[in-house]
């Protein structure tokens, strides 16, 4: 029995949700350990198509326990709405457990996210405006509200007052808004707390026990390695660690528990939000890849924004897999490239006349990086119905082997479509 982390090696949107949904069948627990409702995992199965923002991707299997760990940014409204939507669409009642230590995204976090992005204008970071940056800022400034605080009204009011003291100065002086009273935030939070109550427990003890009993646990990452605040394209990063190394912390498991780290790598690149993106395409080339990519074009699962598109980036993907400590790779969206005669791939960056291949430059240097492209033969056919590697056209096999070689990690599975069964193991 294993503890497996499924994480992104790129900028996010690699297809982690699909991989988690496919692998969940063999797991007892699926755990979200970081991030909030700011990214969406698209899942297509016999119940239909879903974009999960807050719920773990194991919710389609009633026998699986889905855990929201202490490291997450819990948006209670989104969680409850997603659950209601699942039930309304015929999915059996999922088992959900929310950590009493998880912290809560408040309406003031969403408000500050919007006001700040508006203030920054063209210099903004492309925030999804789900309150994530203000939430984590509060968490690490020790101004956050834990789920357990919701069940002690006096304590909750005190925590909110502490959090609002500095925010009200900013609201009035910087954003030209009215101050907010802590007491006014209470009714909504207390109502949410009651609805959340049946799901709340000590998830860390729950998971430790499961781990000791040898049950299999899937830790589900959000976004990708290049959005990690320490190792990614800071400041165009997210606000919590996207790395498998953080998974035991955010979930509440021993660091040595993880034995398998599946880094999900996309056969081309896509990216939502601002920041350097060396292999980025423009014009018709980008439009075509965006139109044909994903399950219905490459548009953000949370915002609906068109994703920025690029060719596969060997430098970034190798770095992403290294950071994740990948023990294997799942290569997704290979089917999408079937329209090309030749497939360009970015094998290096040129910065000031020097060729960079082995290391991923810091953000300050990335803006000057130009992609060095190589062309691989295309296969020009539909591979979405193929279920074994050997039956893939020779050129598609070559492409997979090429990716494996440049990233230096074994490819364990290849995905050729958005559905659960469009997957082959190698
Ligand atoms: P996640 O956040 O990593 O789960 O990724 P998203 O769900 O945001 O984006 C991945 C997109 O690719 C979604 O539209 C998926 O339905 C789709 N997808 C996943 N795997 C494949 C695949 O192998 N082929 C195709 N064509 N689409 C895929």
- Give pLDDT tens digits for 66-76: 999 999 999 99
Asked whether 227 and 11 are in contact (CB, 8 A), the reply is yes
**103-196: what CATH class?**
mainly alpha
* Residues 290-324: tens digit of each pLDDT: 999 988 899 877 677 899 999 999 999 999 999 99
* Residues 171-205: tens digit of each pLDDT: 999 999 999 999 999 999 999 999 999 999 999 99
Which atom number of ligand 1 is nearest to the Cα of residue 17?
A: 4
Q: Is the pTM of this model over 0.85?
A: yes
Q: φ and ψ at 37, to 5 degrees?
A: -95, 20
* Sequence spans of domains, the chain: 3-99+200-261, 103-196, 264-425
Which residue puts its alpha carbon closest to atom 21 of ligand 1? Answer: 418
- In which band, very low, low, confident or very high, does the pLDDT at 357 lie, cut at 50, 70 and 90? very high
CATH dotted code for 3-99+200-261: 3.40.440.10
222-251 as b/e: b if 16+ CB within 10 A = bbbbbbbbebbbeebbbbbbbbbbbbbbbb
Q: Does the pLDDT at position 132 exceed 70?
A: yes
Q: What is the mean pLDDT of residues 331-354?
A: 97
Residues flanking ligand 1, CB < 6 Å: 8, 12-18, 39-42, 44, 294-295, 301, 332-333, 335-336, 415-418
Rounded to whole angstroms, the Cα distance separating 184 from 108 reads 11
Query: 309 C-alpha vs ligand 1 centroid, how far in Å?
Result: 14
- The CATH architecture one would assign to domain 264-425 is Alpha-Beta Complex (3.90)
């Amino acid at each position: 029995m294993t503890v497996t982390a499924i994480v992104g090696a790129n900028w996010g949107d690699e297809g982690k949700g699909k991989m988690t949904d496919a692998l969940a069948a063999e797991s007892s627990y699926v755990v979200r350990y970081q991030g909030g409702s700011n990214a969406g995992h698209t899942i297509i199965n016999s119940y239909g198509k879903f974009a999960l923002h807050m719920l773990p991707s194991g919710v389609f299997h009633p026998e699986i326990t889905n855990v929201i760990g202490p490291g997450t940014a819990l948006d209670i409204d989104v969680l409850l709405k997603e659950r209601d939507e699942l039930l309304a669409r015929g999915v059996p009642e999922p088992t959900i457990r929310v950590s009493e230590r998880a912290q809560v995204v408040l309406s003031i976090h969403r408000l500050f996210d919007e006001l700040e992005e508006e203030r920054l204008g063209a210099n903004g970071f492309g925030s999804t405006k789900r309150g994530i940056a203000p939430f984590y800022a509060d968490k690490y400034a020790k101004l956050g509200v834990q789920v357990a605080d919701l069940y002690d009204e006096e304590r909750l009011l005190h925590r909110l007052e502490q959090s609002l003291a500095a925010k009200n100065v900013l609201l009035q002086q910087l954003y030209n808004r009215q101050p907010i009273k802590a007491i006014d935030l209470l009714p909504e939070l207390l109502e949410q707390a009651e609805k959340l109550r049946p799901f709340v427990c000590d998830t860390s003890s729950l998971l430790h026990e499961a781990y000791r009993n040898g049950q299999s646990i899937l830790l589900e990452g959000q976004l990708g390695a290049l959005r990690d605040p320490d190792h990614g394209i800071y400041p165009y990063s997210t606000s919590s660690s996207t790395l498998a190394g953080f998974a035991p912390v955010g979930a509440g498991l021993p660091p040595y528990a993880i034995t398998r780290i599946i880094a999900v790598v996309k056969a081309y690149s896509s990216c939502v939000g601002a920041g350097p993106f060396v292999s980025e395409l423009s014009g018709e080339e980008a439009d075509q890849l965006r139109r044909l990519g994903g399950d219905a074009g490459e548009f953000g699962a949370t915002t609906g924004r068109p994703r920025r598109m690029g060719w596969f980036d060997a430098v970034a993907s190798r770095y992403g897999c290294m950071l994740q400590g990948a023990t294997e790779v799942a290569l997704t969206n290979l089917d999408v490239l079937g329209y090309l005669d030749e497939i360009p791939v970015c094998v290096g960056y040129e910065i000031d006349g020097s060729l960079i291949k082995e290391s991923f430059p810091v953000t300050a240097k990335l803006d000057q990086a130009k992609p060095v492209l190589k062309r691989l033969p295309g296969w020009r056919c539909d591979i979405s119905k193929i279920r074994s590697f050997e039956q893939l056209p020779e050129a598609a096999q070559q492409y997979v082997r090429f990716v494996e070689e440049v990233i230096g990690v074994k490819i364990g599975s290849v995905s050729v479509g958005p559905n659960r069964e469009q997957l082959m193991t190698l």
